Chains A and B, each alone.
Chain A
């Protein structure tokens, strides 16, 4: 049976009359990289803040590693690594001092852990430079180092690639993939840079106006977004036979409402049209379709808005 790392049921957060998170049901299974997709202000950060205990839910339940309250939930949070919004550290301490402070506080054994994790995020050579003098990218890396320091079972990352340069983004992606594959670290990552999520996520949750619109696996999403020629005809089954006979096409799908999706000959839709006409099929409409994650999300929230 799949182990559930995080589940929320009807999780809600209200600020006065404004509902930031509205009865969200979410499930993150062990080993998944869960991409939380939403516009700015959609409720992603508030949702993550409730998981991390920074803010208390107004309603609903939250279960982390099987714990849903009290000391058990605190203990469960110790198994997580968190990076929410801008990484925050003491400005007057160096990278090493900041991490050493949290290492002591969290009771993580072995001073070498700090140097090890600093090397992993390429901050081993920052010396006496204090956090206040770090660039945004360096701050992001240090935030990631803190999240990784305790070798967490579950990483919660809110907009983690903000401020990273292209090289840093690639390194960061590879690091997450390595953690996920080698240590089976479960990852929940929120971002509005959807192309980046598409390179990582094995599962998606789409959130808008505090409401979870859909949870879908990357495979199912890929299937939904697969490029095709979609024809609306008078008889889809007959049209399929015509195409098989005339063009040898076998990669198609007959959908209800006499809709035929053709996954072959994508570069020659006019040939498909011609074959159907010559086969006596009445065409009501025909179009090339296909979407990436961004298109899918935008179609879900109903228009072009900034994701």
Chain B
């Protein structure tokens, strides 16, 4: 497994995709920080470190959909390129292939998240005045990340299973977005029109839990963070189980 992980890392970090994507996101973050900085200089007194740091909560959903890119970097259109046969034919167990790619894509996601959050928070720290709410802002950031992390892992698992089971990358991405982003509003509608049970189910969707986490962040509900971990890991485990079961017998061309 160690060789497999090392090879996947070699592949990801020897192409421009990872670096260019990260650069693009950092440029966007830079633009956001620049916009805050401009409003500050135009006399907006509410912009300080705590204010800018707290807006991180609104960006948590990015982490849920980021696997569309990080899984793509690792999976590398294996069905289109026909490269899976090179692994299977050499006797690499399919469980190792699946879990290896999941582990490396998760690693890439975490690395990208660390760079993005670090860049954003570092920018906030350097650019904006510190008016006394710094400790609270850092605590809030830690709280949000602690709750968001397992939900991002859930997203990672869902996207990975879609990429493994759906041959076309574009279709796989659509299916992933459908599961993560479109099912919640459908459940909400069913909750209103059919039975409130659908609304209860909706509360365990990763995207909804991310919203709830951010909207009630000021309350520091650590038991909700615990629920995020339980639900996030359950989603991840479920997705992995489905993926392994289906990939076990999948014909590789």
CB neighbours of B15 from chain A (8 A): 92-93
Chain B interface residue bracket vs A:
20 to 34
Give Cα distance in the complex from A106 to B8, angstroms: 12
Give Cα distance in the complex from A91 to B91, angstroms: 23
Point out the residue from B10, B76, B90, B252 that lies within 8 Å of A106, measured CB to CB.
B90
User: Which of chain A's residues has its CB closest to B83's CB?
Assistant: A88
Residues A105 and B251 in contact in the complex (CB < 8 Å), given A52-B85, A54-B85, A54-B89: no
Number of interface residues of A (CB under 8 A): 35
Give Cα distance in the complex from A184 to B200, angstroms: 66
What's the dominant secondary structure at chain A's contact region? mixed
Stretch at the interface among A78-86, A169-177, A266-274: A78-86
Q: Are B76 and A53 in contact (CB under 8 A)?
A: no
Mark contacts of B56-81 with chain A using CB atoms, 8 A cut-off: 1 yes-contact digit, 0 otherwise. 00000000000000000000100001
Mark contacts of A122-153 with chain B using CB atoms, 8 A cut-off: 1 yes-contact digit, 0 otherwise. 00000000000000000000000010001000
Q: Are A100 and B10 in contact (CB under 8 A)?
A: yes
Q: Are B92 and A105 in contact (CB under 8 A)?
A: yes
Please tell me if A255 contacts chain B, counting CB pairs below 8 Å.
Answer: no
Interface set, chain B 89-104, CB cutoff 8 A to A: 89-93
Stretch at the interface among A69-77, A221-229, A280-288, A291-299: A69-77
Q: Are A102 and B7 in contact (CB under 8 A)?
A: yes
Q: Are B3 and A107 in contact (CB under 8 A)?
A: yes
Q: A82-B89, A85-B82 are in contact. List 17 more A-B contacts (CB 8 A).
A: A49-B251, A52-B85, A54-B85, A73-B91, A74-B91, A74-B93, A76-B91, A77-B91, A80-B91, A82-B85, A89-B83, A92-B15, A92-B17, A102-B7, A104-B10, A105-B3, A105-B7
Q: A residues near B, CB below 8 A?
A: 49, 52-56, 71, 73-78, 80, 82, 84-86, 88-93, 97, 100-102, 104-107, 146, 150, 156
Q: B residues near A, CB below 8 A?
A: 3-4, 6-8, 10-11, 14-15, 17, 76, 81-83, 85-93, 249, 251-253
Q: Which 6 A-B pairs have the closest CB atoms?
A: A77-B91, A88-B82, A105-B7, A52-B89, A74-B91, A82-B89
